[in-house]
């Protein structure tokens, strides 16, 4: 029963939405089938139950709650579930309509016009203007609905008023407003999807066709006052940061626009815009510009403060890990510890223990509290392969720094066996960690007087492709030679 579309749709609703849907389905305007109402309340009780996972909701029990002792009829039951799904879809549509003042303004004008209700023209126009002002989000679609509203206003205006307007100030009502809103919608959507194409091109390293007329669109944006139009201003700046990444001014301007406009975009779109700035910082850091570590840190703080990093009030383990890693790289140890302890509740319980333990262990590594690292990781079994491998890398450095060479030698041997036997690890990642193991095994055989062997291993490591903790091993080789590290 729980795998039916009707149940899945209802389960996605919040408690408040379920309450509203209860009123919706009880309204005779939307539903006159009391069996559908009973079916909804049966499923609603199950969804709200704190022990839902332990109950045995099935077709037979649901049928009985709706039809009593009547013999079960599969066709009839499927039809009832299908009707409930249709009502749920209608409710979701109604919710979207009610939450968008521009929809209501536009359809009000259409209704008044189609009914030729001339006496309602004036009040309907006033209502449409008022509803339009209530719209807080200013995406490209905002301008599209404004275009429709202005067009409907034009159609509602009697011909004699249009002629009077021309005679008084040489203009034709609101035609310029109609054209402006349509143009903004078109330009904003075009530049937005050009940015999407460029992002995919960078990720997949493939050639993709440009959005049609993009060169003309870019020329038009350059000559207009685009900075006062949020969707064009934001996406044009993203476009510039993608096409001219070496000019860091594009990023700084984008960051300013995010601070100014991000709150007027719906959550999912705002998240995409925010992540475009994050991705730019990551690319600059990967290209060697370490000044962007601080820029990235500031963006993460902004994302936390404005909850733009959260999805359903949860932070992903990846984002949690990235923030912690950035914190320790910037030597913000106390801040990182406070972040872990304060925000662990935002992690899904399924991933929480692994994420908290691993990140505390990595923090202890940067604090050079290696005994604490071993204590954190010794008894933990990680469910996630990333944590499993990364934690073993932390243990390698901890055992070495504690001069537990015999323990380390045994650990390296067992880790190598684990890597070679585990078929779930991608080959590239497996080779990455195998290099760490092999080079560390060579490292622990060296002594300060073995200058030639140290130099040989150093050159071998430098000539190899990047691998986990390559920088750390090179630092240990410098220490063996009595050279400064840093």
State the Cα–Cα distance between residues 283 and 279, nearest whole angstrom.
6
Q: How do residues 208-245 score in pLDDT, each as one tens digit?
A: 778 889 999 999 999 998 999 999 999 999 999 999 99
Pairs from 238-245 (Cβ < 8 Å, separation ≥ 24):
238/195, 238/273, 238/276, 239/191, 239/194, 239/195, 239/198, 241/276, 241/280, 242/195, 242/198, 242/199, 242/202, 243/198, 245/280, 245/283, 245/284
Mean per-residue pLDDT, 297-324: 94
pLDDT of residue 51: 45
Q: Taking the C-alpha atoms of 50, 53, 55 and 57 in order, what is their torsion angle to the nearest 10 degrees?
A: 110
Q: Which of 424, 377, 420 is nearest to 396 (CA)?
A: 377
State the Cα–Cα distance between residues 436 and 230, nearest whole angstrom.
48
Of 53-57, 138-142, 248-252, 392-396, where does mean pLDDT reach its minimum?
53-57
Q: What DSSP letter does each residue of 98-150 carry, written as one string? A: HT-HHHHHHHHHHHHHHTT-GGGHHHHHHHHHHHHHH----SHHHHHHHHHHH
∠ CA 270-271-274, nearest 5°, is 85
pLDDT of residue 56: 65
Tokens of 238: 């993203």
Mean per-residue pLDDT, 179-193: 95
Phi-psi region of 331 (alpha: psi -120 to 50; beta: other; left: phi over 0): left
**pTM of model > 0.85:** no
State the Cα–Cα distance between residues 158 and 176, nearest whole angstrom.
18
Q: Which of 304, 306, 297, 356 is nearest to 327 (CA)?
A: 297
Q: How do residues 382-392 score in pLDDT, each as one tens digit?
A: 888 999 999 99
pLDDT above 70 for 256: yes
Rg (CA), the chain: 31
State the Cα–Cα distance between residues 431 and 420, nearest whole angstrom.
9
Model confidence band, residue 50 (pLDDT cutoffs 50, 70, 90): low
State the Cα–Cα distance between residues 30 and 401, nearest whole angstrom.
71
Mean per-residue pLDDT, 374-402: 92
Tokens 């934690």 sit on residue:
391
Mean per-residue pLDDT, 63-80: 92
Q: How do residues 407-445 score in pLDDT, each as one tens digit?
A: 999 999 999 999 999 999 999 999 999 999 999 999 999
Please, are residues 357 and 379 in contact by the beta-carbon 8 Å criterion? Answer: no
State the Cα–Cα distance between residues 167 and 169, nearest whole angstrom.
6
């Amino acid at each position: 029963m729980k795998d039916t579309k009707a149940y899945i749709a209802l389960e996605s609703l919040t408690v408040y939405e379920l309450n509203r849907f209860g009123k919706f389905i009880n309204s005779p305007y939307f539903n006159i089938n009391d069996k559908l109402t009973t079916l909804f309340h049966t499923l609603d009780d199950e969804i709200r139950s704190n022990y839902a996972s332990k109950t045995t909701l099935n077709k037979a029990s649901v049928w009985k709650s709706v039809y009593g002792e009547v013999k079960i009829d599969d066709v009839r039951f499927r039809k009832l579930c299908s009707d409930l799904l249709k009502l749920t879809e209608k409710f979701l549509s109604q919710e979207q309509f009610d939450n968008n003042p521009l929809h209501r303004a536009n359809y009000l004008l259409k209704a008044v016009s189609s009914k030729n209700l001339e006496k309602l023209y004036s009040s309907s126009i006033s209502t449409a203007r008022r509803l339009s002002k209530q719209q807080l989000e200013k995406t490209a679609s905002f301008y599209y609905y404004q275009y429709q509203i202005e067009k409907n206003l034009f159609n509602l205006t009697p011909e004699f008023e249009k002629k009077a307007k021309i005679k008084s100030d040489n203009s034709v009502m609101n035609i310029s407003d109609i054209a402006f809103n349509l143009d903004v919608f078109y330009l904003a959507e075009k530049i937005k999807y050009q940015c999407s194409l460029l992002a995919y091109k960078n990720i997949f390293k493939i050639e993709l066709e440009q959005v049609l007329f993009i060169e003309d669109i870019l020329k038009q944006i350059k000559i207009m006052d685009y900075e006062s139009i949020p969707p064009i201003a934001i996406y044009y700046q993203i476009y510039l940061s993608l096409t001219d990444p070496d000019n860091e001014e594009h990023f700084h301007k984008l960051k300013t626009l995010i601070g100014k406009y991000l709150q007027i975009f719906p959550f999912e779109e705002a998240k995409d815009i925010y992540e475009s700035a994050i991705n730019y910082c990551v690319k600059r850091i990967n290209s060697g510009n370490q000044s962007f570590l601080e820029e990235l840190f500031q963006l993460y703080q902004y994302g936390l403060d404005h909850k733009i990093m959260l999805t359903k009030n949860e932070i992903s383990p990846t984002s949690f890990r990235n923030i912690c890693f950035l914190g320790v790289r910037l030597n913000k140890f106390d801040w990182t510890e406070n972040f872990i302890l304060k925000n662990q509740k935002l992690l899904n319980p399924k991933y929480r223990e692994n994420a908290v333990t691993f990140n505390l262990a990595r923090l202890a590594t940067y604090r050079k509290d290696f005994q604490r690292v071993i204590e954190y990781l010794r008894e933990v079994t990680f469910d996630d392969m990333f944590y499993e491998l990364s934690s073993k890398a932390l243990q390698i450095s901890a055992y070495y720094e504690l001069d537990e060479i015999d323990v380390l030698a045994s650990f390296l041997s067992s880790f190598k066996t684990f890597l070679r036997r585990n078929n779930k690890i991608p080959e590239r990642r497996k080779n990455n960690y195998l290099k760490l193991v092999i080079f560390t095994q060579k490292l622990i055989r060296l002594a300060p007087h073995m200058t030639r062997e140290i130099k040989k291993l150093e050159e071998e490591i430098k000539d190899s492709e990047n691998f986990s903790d390559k920088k750390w091993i090179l630092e240990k080789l410098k220490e063996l030679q009595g050279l400064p590290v840093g």
